[in-house]
């Protein structure tokens, strides 16, 4: 069972203020104040964090001993307002025709509070003990940035611990609920959301993330309505179609203006996100693990920890929420062992050879990859057991001697002799029924007794809750990593797990933790091993898995036009440094679209660049262009992976984004024209993130030899390829630079460097 220790908060450096005011009532008295409704003598607990760009953030929780806890304020700090004032400012009547006292939400809106909205905590003891009413028992801090509010309900035999951390630098909130069974009999937990967040009434728009294989991170925006907006994921992985996140915005919110918040559930299993807008207009957001019936049954003394809710808010639009979340992922989620190293250029074999492995050919591909500048060679699916197609061999993690008579070492050594790291594909959680593993252990898979397995890429999900299964996987993977000196694992997962039962009990919770634990065990044994999370593309790209891995495979779709949209949308939560982004073949295998090397390179640079194509099929000219693009990525990856990311507001058919150095010294801008232009002249491109009163030199750094149709353009006029255009940051930011006429499906990269 999970315990309170499973948080990401332990990684935070703490600098924020903590105040629990007054401390006088610190001991539980058992006397139940109704301060929330009668304004008796409330106590407040507070966290304050710096926040990016001096936008300090604070969280204020009314936490009076013996009373129900309640979030009074989460948002940009109001430094001259006291918690008491903010609480009074929010004092609302009880609506006519309703309860005699206004019933406030608590941190779980649990049934015993009497609030007539969806509970954030549903438990029961054989049909009793569900009327939970949690009252503050203690308030404490852990380090400087974490507030821990412990609440109890002795009648129901429950303790709930709410842990809030405000990242001292980014102001990002991480919050978790841990519920413990303090009673004397078993307690079933049916739903335990992370702390319930009250929704600011200005946030009238809700954006969810839907998608499909090869079309991840599609946004759907709707007006928040009275009733329930709910998204559930039952795929047994983060899923293509329900990335666990929500954006909230006002009707006039843009990238740079207006109230906004971005909320994500750091979890790779089943999930539920909901916003309940009550008839009185108040609204609450809940995010938690979607539990199967009977999945969590706590014995006395056991506890269950919700996944972490990670959220950012801003009064200046959606841009700052992404910037804060990116900084949070880089500072607090990713492992510094690998995060601090420049992200090497990948060469991945999948679209070049698929299952058709041949050692000599792969060595030749490695030579060609090194020639264009690859720094890591990843051998994809097809190197083991009888895996000559996706129908057989999965689970037999032994190098196929027919193809690699000397094992993988000769290929790996060849790769290393070319100065590249060696990466290897695994799909540990899965098995083909046509495999030695399944023949030997048909009982090692998840599924309900008597329930027909649902076919899904000819594979079943192994039951990682069985120690013998994880032992087998650990041994196989560790042996190969050791033998071939593997530097990198592409950890794939190619099916939904729709019957996640182990011994008849729902097991998705335990399965998800078992995957995390297996990855952690391997990383402990091999501290320099890097791991990429892939699931048929981006179906497992969440902050939960990123606490254990180093990169995500954003999508199987390498079509540069589609990637522009996928990556723009993913950027609401994922920083460029972890977004795998590859140059695909000239004719995309998934969409059939033919795109120039210039376009493919430009799109791959704005991410963690790699390539996934048969280099023999590319012309010498395109290979030279690719090599130049890789060199450009290497030159700018420091900025791309550490700077502030901006989605620039541009009319269709443009997609423009930029990354600016935190100190304002430089910016790189990508502007793609995805389709045909409705007007005969293109618009101007504003460049955010520059210091207004500094002068910058603007150059066009990609493509190398652009072909802009029509008469002489700004490219020649301002000598963008030579000396560059020298201009004030304010002019570039506010007015922008005129775009040249561009062909559809082309992309330019501009670089702005401050003059000293």
DSSP state of 330: I
Residue by residue, DSSP assigns 189-225 as: EEEEBSSPEEEPTT--EEEEEEEETTEEEEEEEEE--
Under DSSP, is residue 563 helix (H, G, I), strand (E, B) or coil? helix
Q: 354 or 398, CB closer to ligand DGJ?
A: 354
What span, in angstroms and rounded, lies between the C-alpha atoms of 127 and 114? 18
Any idea which residues carry the catalytic annotation?
Answer: 492, 556
Residues 209, 229, 425, 573: which binds ligand DGJ (CB under 6 A)? 425
Axis crossing angle, helix 359-372 with helix 620-640, rounded to the nearest 10: 60
CB of 389 to ligand DGJ, least distance (A): 10
* Sign, CA torsion 142/145/146/147: positive
243 binds ligand DGJ (CB under 6 A): no
What span, in angstroms and rounded, lies between the C-alpha atoms of 443 and 436? 13
Q: 350 or 384, CB closer to ligand DGJ?
A: 350
Q: 126 in the Ramachandran plot: left (φ > 0), alpha (ψ -120 to 50) or beta?
A: left
What span, in angstroms and rounded, lies between the C-alpha atoms of 561 and 573? 20
CB of 640 to ligand DGJ, least distance (A): 22
Q: 470 or 536, CB closer to ligand DGJ?
A: 536
DSSP state of 57: E
Angle, CA of 60, 61 and 65, to the nearest 5° = 145
CB 438 within 8 A of CB 395: yes
Any idea how long the chain is?
A: 756
What span, in angstroms and rounded, lies between the C-alpha atoms of 256 and 658? 14
What span, in angstroms and rounded, lies between the C-alpha atoms of 755 and 691? 11
CB of 356 to ligand DGJ, least distance (A): 13
Q: 312 or 430, CB closer to ligand DGJ?
A: 430
CB of 350 to ligand DGJ, least distance (A): 5
Other C-beta atoms closer than 10 Å to the C-beta of 97 total 5
CB of 130 to ligand DGJ, least distance (A): 43
CB of 394 to ligand DGJ, least distance (A): 9
DSSP state of 107: S
Point out the residue whose Cβ comes nearest to ligand DGJ: 381
Longest dimension (CA), the chain: 83
Q: How many residues bind ligand DGJ (CB under 6 A)?
A: 11
CB of 289 to ligand DGJ, least distance (A): 25
Structure tokens at 610: 């790699």
CB of 581 to ligand DGJ, least distance (A): 13
Q: 380 or 463, CB closer to ligand DGJ?
A: 380
Restricted to residues 527-556, the positions that interact with ligand DGJ (CB under 6 A) are 534, 536-537, 553, 556
492 binds ligand DGJ (CB under 6 A): yes
CB 45 within 8 A of CB 26: no
Q: 211 or 250, CB closer to ligand DGJ?
A: 211
Spatial CB neighbours of 336, under 8 Å, sequence gap ≥ 6: none
Q: 546 in the Ramachandran plot: left (φ > 0), alpha (ψ -120 to 50) or beta?
A: alpha
End-to-end CA distance of the chain: give it in Å, rounded.
58
Tokens 């390829």 belong to which residue? 721
Closest CA to 120 of 53, 45, 198: 198
350 binds ligand DGJ (CB under 6 A): yes
Restricted to residues 78-117, the positions that interact with ligand DGJ (CB under 6 A) are none
CB of 494 to ligand DGJ, least distance (A): 5
Residues 494, 497, 564, 569: which binds ligand DGJ (CB under 6 A)? 494
301 burial via Cβ count (<10 Å: 0-12, 13-18, 19+): exposed
Structure tokens at 25: 């009532």
Site string for ligand DGJ, 353-392 (x = CB under 6 A): ---------------------------xx-----------
Which residues lie near ligand DGJ (CB under 6 A)? 350, 380-381, 425, 492, 494, 534, 536-537, 553, 556
């Amino acid at each position: 069972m999970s315990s309170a220790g499973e948080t990401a908060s332990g990684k935070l450096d703490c600098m924020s203020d903590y105040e629990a005011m007054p401390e006088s009532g610190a001991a539980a008295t058992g006397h139940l104040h109704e301060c929330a409704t009668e304004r008796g003598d409330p106590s407040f607990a507070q966290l304050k964090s710096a926040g990016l760009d001096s936008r300090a953030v604070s969280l204020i929780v009314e936490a009076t001993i013996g009373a129900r806890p309640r979030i009074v304020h989460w948002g940009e700090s109001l430094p001259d307002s006291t918690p008491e004032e903010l609480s009074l400012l929010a004092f609302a009547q009880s609506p006519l025709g309703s309860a005699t006292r206004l019933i406030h939400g608590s941190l779980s809106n649990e049934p015993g509070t009497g609030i007539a909205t969806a509970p954030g905590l549903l438990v029961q003891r054989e049909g009793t003990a569900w009327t939970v009413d949690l009252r503050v028992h203690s308030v404490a801090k852990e380090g400087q940035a974490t507030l821990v509010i412990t609440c109890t309900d002795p009648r129901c035999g429950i303790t709930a611990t709410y842990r809030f951390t405000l990242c001292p630098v980014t102001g990002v909130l991480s919050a978790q609920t841990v519920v413990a069974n303090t009673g004397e009999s078993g307690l079933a937990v049916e739903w335990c959301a992370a702390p319930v967040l009250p929704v600011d009434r200005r946030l009238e728009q809700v954006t969810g993330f839907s998608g499909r294989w090869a079309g991840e991170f599609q946004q759907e925006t709707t007006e928040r309505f009275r009733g329930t907006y709910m998204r559930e994921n039952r795929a047994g992985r983060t899923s293509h179609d329900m990335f666990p996140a929500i954006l909230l915005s006002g009707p006039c919110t843009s990238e740079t203006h207006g109230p906004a918040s971005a909320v994500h559930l750091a979890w790779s299993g089943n999930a539920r996100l909901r916003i309940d807008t009550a008839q009185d207009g108040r609204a609450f957001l809940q995010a938690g693990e979607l539990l199967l019936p009977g999945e969590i049954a706590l014995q006395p003394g056991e506890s269950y920890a919700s996944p972490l809710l990670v959220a950012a808010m801003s009064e200046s639009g959606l841009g700052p929420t992404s910037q804060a979340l990116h900084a949070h992922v880089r500072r607090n989620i990713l492992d510094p062992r690998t995060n601090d190293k420049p992200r090497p250029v990948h060469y991945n074999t999948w679209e070049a050879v698929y299952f058709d492995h041949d050692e000599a050919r792969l060595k030749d591909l490695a030579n060609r990859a090194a020639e264009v500048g690859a720094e890591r060679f990843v051998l994809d699916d097809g190197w083991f057991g009888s895996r000559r197609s996706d129908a057989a061999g999965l689970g037999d993690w032994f190098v196929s001697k027919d193809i690699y008579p000397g094992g993988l070492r000769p290929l790996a050594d060849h790769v290393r002799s070319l100065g590249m790291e060696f990466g290897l594909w695994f799909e540990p959680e899965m098995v083909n029924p046509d495999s030695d593993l399944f023949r030997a252990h048909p009982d090692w898979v998840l599924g309900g007794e008597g329930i027909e397995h649902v076919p899904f890429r000819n594979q079943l999900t192994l039951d990682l809750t069985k120690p013998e299964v994880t032992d087998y996987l650990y041994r196989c993977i560790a042996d190969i990593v050791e033998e071939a000196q593997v530097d990198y694992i592409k950890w794939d997962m190619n099916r939904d797990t729709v019957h996640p039962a182990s011994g008849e009990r729902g097991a998705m919770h335990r399965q998800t933790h078992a995957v995390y634990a297996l990855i952690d065990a391997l990383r402990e044994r091999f501290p320099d091993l890097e791991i990429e999370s892939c699931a048929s593309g981006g179906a497992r790209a969440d902050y939960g898995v990123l606490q254990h891995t180093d990169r995500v495979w954003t999508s199987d779709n390498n079509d540069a036009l589609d990637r522009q949209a996928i990556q723009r949308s993913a950027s609401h939560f994922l920083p460029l440094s972890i977004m795998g982004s590859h140059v695909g073949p000239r004719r995309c295998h998934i969409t059939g679209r033919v795109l120039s090397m210039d376009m493919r390179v430009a799109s791959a640079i704005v991410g963690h660049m790699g390539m996934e194509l048969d280099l023999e099929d590319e012309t010498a000219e395109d290979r030279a262009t690719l090599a130049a693009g890789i060199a450009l990525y290497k030159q700018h990856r420091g900025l791309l992976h550490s700077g502030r990311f901006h989605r620039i507001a541009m009319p269709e058919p443009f997609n423009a984004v930029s990354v600016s150095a935190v100190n304002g010294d430089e910016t790189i801008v990508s502007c793609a024209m995805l389709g045909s232009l409705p007007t005969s002249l293109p618009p101007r491109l504003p460049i955010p993130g520059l210091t207004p009163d500094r002068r910058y030199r603007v150059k066009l750094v990609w493509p190398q030899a652009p072909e802009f149709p029509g008469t002489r353009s700004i490219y020649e006029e301002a000598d963008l390829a030579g000396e560059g255009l020298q201009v004030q940051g304010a002019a570039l930011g506010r007015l922008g630079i005129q775009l040249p006429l561009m062909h559809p499906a082309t992309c330019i990269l501009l670089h702005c460097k401050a003059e000293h």
